[in-house]
A and B are shown apart, each in its own frame.
Chain A
Amino acid sequence: MNHESNAPSSPRSRRLDPDLIAGIVIVLAAGALLLRTAGMPAMTALLPVSMLSVLVLLGVFLIARCVIRLKRQGDAYAPTQVFDNARRFLGIAASIALYVAGVALLGFYTTTAVMIPAVAWCFGYRSLKGLLLADLIFTGGIAIIFVLLMGQELPTELFLR
């Protein structure tokens, strides 16, 4: 996925059509999964094999269509742009991953209380008062509902385990 994000910058790779990449990914993934049907009983394998074969076939169609379009339209062909802002996307993906890892390691309430203002701040909401208020209402509200009312456990805090 990484080379995709660089696509708009260099003129040579401008022709790198995301549909083409998608087609290749689909064919490869479905093909790899198709190999795993080998050991299955016949009736068990029937639907997976047919679905994956259809996926491979459709992936090939997708690739072929991209190639044909590219040939016909040449430089005039403008593939769909995936990222409005690739750096932002990577930042968001990283913060989601960090958040989930944090919840698993540190506990739900601590991580959430840190994540909400931090993420909102990083991505453009800069009102300190608003951030703190929203954080308090949200994390506090969840704590009241889950801990006090329901007695339902979300991943426990590190210091309470």
Chain B
Amino acid sequence: MYGNLIDALPAVLSLGNILAVVVGVIAGICVGALPGLSATMAISVLIPFTFGMDPLVALGMMAGIYNGAMYGGSIPAVLLRIPGTPAAVATSFDGYPMAQQGRGGYALQVAVVSSALGGIASALVLMLLAPPLAKVTLLFGPTEIFWVAVFGMSAIVFLLGGDIIKGLISAAFGVFVSLIGVDTITGYERYTFGHLELLDGINIVVLLVGLYALPPAIGLLEEVRDFDTKNTGRLNTTSIWKAIPGMLKYWKTWLRSSVIGVFVGILPGAGGSMAAFLSYNEARRASKNPDDWGKGEPEGVAASETSNNADTAAALIPALTLGIPGTAVAAVMLGGLLIHGLQPGPMLFRDNPEIVFGFMWQFLFAAILLIFLGGALATNSFAQVLRLPRPLLGAIIIALVFIGVYSINNRMFDVYLMLGFGLIGYFMDKLKFPLPPVVLGLILGGFAEQNLRLALRIGGGDWSILASSPTAKVLIAMVLLVIVSPLVSRRLRARKASKVAG
């Protein structure tokens, strides 16, 4: 098996294949960085184009785009509070405040280093541990996946923001949106109002772009003021290599977030945004100064960016071995494999080792390339683009948003839907309803429901199936721990404080 890894290396190192990865990373950073465009969209546009290409060239480009976009998404998240990909939502929590304080350049440097490290960790796991981790994935049936979703939901608590009522309304709205479409278990169509386009549910990109990219575009046009770019400030232009030593103190967060990202990645269906939310939450809980989070704590950027890149290659483990993609992007990439006749499964590793293992190498190279390509060069050029005169930037974002949403399924319907979400998002923003719970609700709501009901069908309607397997029991314990531990630690802290006072 490891012999295959070495055998696959020479082909990857050919000029064409290296170039494919480089082009992919650059394209990915651009796509991620442009508000409205997403990795899902870029890869769906790319797939038909790669038919007839050499598989390694095609896959190298996809690996590059995936890694590049996961980092690229942080650029507008930091500079404009528009997450470029769903997984960059958590990056904006601390990244945007940093940019407002004039530390946007540093935020992006933390993001690129963390992204690269997360990506490298993920690629190594994919290369070395794919078959054993696929066995872990198999332990997760509907029951266990339900508990994972519940675990992910626990992150909602800290996303609610200051106003609990509004936070809960946002969360409930997100869950409701996730229920639109055919109920796969009874076949009943929920809230589709006769539209075929709604039967498959609402694509996360449509919602995300509507809620997150359209309102800021409106905001850019709305301001009557002169177009100063004071709030994005001048970006820190010191070399990234000089900045790295100062970041080494985040090593614990890097490690923790990589583990979380990889773990979420190998679970089917959860995806990078859940990884980012969870690892942000965990890093914050472990921090000595949790109250500074959300106000410009670089460690928050590190946590989110590490895990959303750690999720990339790991999400391919279930995709390659079982055909069940770990993220929405991995799902699209699976199509990219199929189009080259590469059917997922154990036979793929036996029949086409040079391609599968070459693909893994490409993931590793793409992650390493991020530091070089995503460093000063890309970061600064995008910062310049985002400092265009505001009315112009607003107009361009509107056009980009259109392209990004239209190209996913080649239809206008999604664009209209996105405009609807844009209107809702605009008012939510103005009335200070938090947006992250909507995203988490959409990702996990229907997902939890479907798995719960599958589990109940398997158990013949008996709810005790939810605690029947050892894996499920461990997960329940984890959920309880997450809910109970903040209460305990708060009490401990209170006791300590009273002792100090006394």
Within 8 A of A (CB), among B393-446: 394-396, 398-399, 402-403, 406-407, 410, 412, 415-416, 419, 422-423, 427, 430-433, 445
Q: A18-B431, A36-B191 are in contact. Are A48 and B169 (CB under 8 A)?
A: no
Given known pairs A26-B169, A54-B168, the reply for A120 and B218 (CB within 8 Å) is: no
Determine if B389 and A120 form an interchain contact, defined as CB atoms under 8 angstroms apart.
Answer: yes
**For residue B282, which residues in chain A have a CB less than 8 angstroms away from its CB?**
none
Interchain CB contact under 8 A, B186 and A41: yes
Contact residues, A66-114 vs B (CB, 8 A): 80, 82-85, 88-89, 92-93, 96-97, 99-100, 103-104, 108, 112
Q: CB distance A130 to B402 under 8 Å? A: no
- B183 to A44, Cβ gap below 8 A? yes
Given A43-B186, A99-B402; A123-B391 close (CB under 8 Å)? yes
Separation in Å of the A113 CB from the closest CB of chain B?
10
Q: Which of B46, B176, B388, B395 contacts A55 (CB 8 A)?
A: B176
Give Cα A1–Cα B408 distance, bound, in whole angstroms. Answer: 31
Complex contacts, A122 vs chain B, CB 8 Å: 391
A161 to B415, CA, bound (A): 21
Q: A52: nearest residue on chain B (CB-CB)?
A: B176
Contact check, B221 vs A92: say whether CB atoms are below 8 A apart. Answer: yes
Considering only CB atoms, which chain B residue lies closest to A149 in the complex?
B49
A54–B168 Cα distance when bound, in Å, is: 9
B286 in the interface, Cβ–Cβ < 8 Å? no
> Which residues from chain A contact B406 at a C-beta distance below 8 Å?
154-155
Interface size on B, residues (CB 8 A): 55
Smallest CB-CB separation from B429: which chain A residue?
Answer: A82
Q: A residues within 8 A CB of B399?
A: 99, 112, 115-116, 138, 142
Whether B395 pairs with A44 at a CB distance below 8 angstroms is no
B157 on interface, CB distance cutoff 8 Å: no
* Closest CB in chain A relative to B57 CB, distance in Å: 14
Contacts of A121 in B (CB 8 A): 391
Give the docked Cα–Cα distance between A32 and B261 (Å). 40
Inter-chain contacts of A155 with B (CB < 8 A) = 406, 412
The reply on A128 being an interface residue by CB < 8 A is no
* Closest chain A residue, CB of each to CB of B45: A152
Within 8 Å of chain A (Cβ to Cβ): is B250? no
Q: Smallest CB-CB separation from A47: which chain B residue?
A: B449
B147-189: CB near A (< 8 Å → 1, else 0) gives: 0000000000000000001101100110110010001011010
How many chain-A residues does the 8 Å CB contact rule pick out? 63
Nearest chain-B residue to A64 (Cβ)?
B165
Within the complex, the shortest CB–CB distance from A152 to chain B, in Å, comes to 5
Inter-subunit contact B419/A92 (CB<8 Å): no
Q: Which of B360-411 contact A (CB under 8 A)?
A: 388-392, 394-396, 398-399, 402-403, 406-407, 410
Selected A-B contacts with CB under 8 Å, 18 pairs: A18-B431, A51-B175, A51-B445, A58-B169, A93-B218, A96-B214, A116-B392, A117-B395, A119-B391, A123-B391, A124-B224, A124-B391, A127-B389, A134-B388, A150-B49, A152-B45, A152-B49, A154-B403
With both chains docked as a complex, state the minimum distance between the C-beta of A9 and any C-beta of chain B, in angstroms.
Answer: 18
3 smallest CB-CB distances across A and B, nearest first, come from A123-B391, A125-B391, A119-B395
Tell me the residues in window 70-107 of chain B with beta carbons closer than 8 Å to chain A beta carbons.
Answer: none
> Closest CB-CB distance, B359 to chain A, in whole Å?
22
A98 to B348, CA, bound (A): 50
B234 within 8 Å of A by Cβ?
no
Which of B's residues lie within 8 Å of A, judged by CB?
45-46, 48-49, 165-166, 168-169, 172-173, 175-176, 179, 183, 185-186, 188, 190-191, 214, 218, 221-224, 227, 388-392, 394-396, 398-399, 402-403, 406-407, 410, 412, 415-416, 419, 422-423, 427, 430-433, 445, 449, 453
Q: Does A33 contact B (CB under 8 A)?
A: yes
Given A116-B396, A142-B403, are A82 and B431 neighbors across the interface (CB < 8 Å)? yes
Assess the A120–B188 pair: CB atoms within 8 A.
Answer: no
| Contact bitstring A126-140, B, C-beta under 8 A = 1, else 0 | 010011001000100
* Whole-angstrom CA separation of A157 from B347 in the bound complex: 46
Contact B395 A115 (CB under 8 A): yes
A120 touches B176 (CB 8 A): no
Known: A62-B166, A123-B395. 4 other contacts (CB 8 A): A33-B191, A55-B173, A96-B398, A124-B224
**A151 interfacial contact with B, CB 8 Å:** yes
Residues of chain A with a CB closer than 8 A to B185's CB? 43-44
Kindly name the residue among B176, B224, B407, B423 whose own CB sees the greatest number of chain A CB atoms within 10 A. B176
CA distance A83 to B391 in the complex (A): 18
What residues of chain A lie closer than 8 Å to B46, measured between beta carbons?
A: 150
Bound Cα distance A41, B185 (Å): 11
Q: What's the least CB distance linking B150 to chain A, in Å?
A: 13
Q: Decide yes or no whether A22 CB sits under 8 A from chain B.
A: yes
Q: Identify which of A36, A54, A125 contacts B227 (C-beta below 8 A).
A: A125
| Complex Cα gap A129–B185 (Å) | 58
> In whole angstroms, how far apart are the Cα atoms of A100 and B419 in the complex?
9
* Chain B nearest CB, measured from A13 CB (Å): 17
A40, CB-defined interface residue at 8 Å: yes
